[in-house]
A = this chain, B = another copy of it.
Amino acid sequence: MGIPNPALDSSLHNSECLDPIWDAIRKEAKLEAEKEPILSSFFYSSILSHNCLEKALAFALANRLQKPTLLATQLMDTFFNVMKQDKGIQQSIRLDIQAFKDRDPACLSYCSALLYMKGFQSLQVYRVAHALWGQGRKILALALQSRISEVFGVDIHPAAKIGDGILVDHGTGVVIGETATIGNRVSLMQGVTLGGTGKETGNRHPKVAEGVLIGAHASILGNIRIGECVMIAAGSLVLQEVSPHSIVAGVPAKVIGRVHDHYPSLTMQQGN
């Protein structure tokens, strides 16, 4: 199932190298700036005035999240300093933005994912917060989680482990708990909960494998495994392990079918 992924091939953002996604974003921004004068300076200052994708993203996120106790200039520095030193995040950014472009038919450009999609933006702030958490700056990481929850309604604990090529569509109401893990190429719709059950601390959240698609407002609770290429229908409640390639639905959820020969997260097929 070796899915070809052009984003992976680019050798990131040092200026001598190719960065086809960044090139595409700049082309899109130029076109859009010419078409809409109300927003032309916004495109310029958000994208065209920067020399790499990481700087543009740090700029966009900082201006979205700023408040009096978190200055935009301070946030921009914090975000950019993390991103520029972490090749893993650089790759994740590109694979995520490609996921939005590929899987969300309403996402017409990389540029719109970068500037407008709160699912994408929330995920990238999580990636920075996760790195800060790993460096021991837990207090700042939690402050970022709180801010994202307030601004976007997306609540991702900085200790959660999330792979690459993730689509968080619309985002409002998504909750991802402290010990949750999410594999590569997973797609989550709005209102999805990867929550705990019980009040004990420790390993208590779901482990979601590669290629899974989780429908809107589905709740998956407890330290259970969701196998590769599972499709969980919108509105379902999942309390038990789901074996790979299953389709589950219901409150609580039962297996109602099988996924054949595709990644639900990539085809985005939500029926059976």
Interface core residue of A18, A77, A151 (most chain B CB under 10 Å): A77
Copies in the complex: 6
B94 touches A74 (CB 8 A): no
Shortest Cβ distance from residue A216 to the other chain B in the assembled complex, whole angstroms: 5
A14 neighbours in B (Cβ, 8 Å): 6-7
Interface core residue of A11, A33, A235, A269 (most chain B CB under 10 Å): A235
Shortest Cβ distance from residue A78 to the other chain B in the assembled complex, whole angstroms: 7
Question: Does A49 belong to the interface (CB within 8 Å)?
Answer: yes
A49 neighbours in B (Cβ, 8 Å): 37-38, 74, 77
Shortest Cβ distance from residue A13 to the other chain B in the assembled complex, whole angstroms: 4
Question: Does A168 belong to the interface (CB within 8 Å)?
Answer: no
Interface core residue of A18, A49, A193 (most chain B CB under 10 Å): A193
Rounded to whole angstroms, the CA-CA distance of A63 and B250 in the bound complex is: 42
A72 neighbours in B (Cβ, 8 Å): 71-73
Question: Does A87 belong to the interface (CB within 8 Å)?
Answer: yes
**Chain A, range 64-96, C-beta contacts under 8 Å to B:** 64, 68-74, 76-78, 83-85, 87, 90-91, 94-95
Rounded to whole angstroms, the CA-CA distance of A11 and B7 in the bound complex is: 10
B197 touches A217 (CB 8 A): no
Please encode chain A, from 231 to 244, with 1 for each CB lying within 8 Å of some chain B CB and 0 for all others: 00111110100000
Rounded to whole angstroms, the CA-CA distance of A141 and B170 in the bound complex is: 17
B140 touches A36 (CB 8 A): yes
Rounded to whole angstroms, the CA-CA distance of A169 and B34 in the bound complex is: 37
Set B70, B73, B137, B235: member contacting A251, Cβ < 8 A: B235
Please encode chain A, from 138 to 178, with 1 for each CB lying within 8 Å of some chain B CB and 0 for all others: 01101101100111110101000000000000101101011
A173 touches B198 (CB 8 A): no
Question: Does A35 belong to the interface (CB within 8 Å)?
Answer: yes
24 sampled A-B residue pairs with Cβ under 8 A? A3-B19, A4-B17, A5-B19, A7-B12, A36-B139, A37-B40, A37-B48, A38-B74, A38-B140, A40-B41, A49-B74, A50-B77, A102-B199, A105-B204, A116-B143, A149-B170, A149-B172, A150-B151, A191-B217, A193-B217, A198-B267, A235-B236, A237-B249, A250-B250
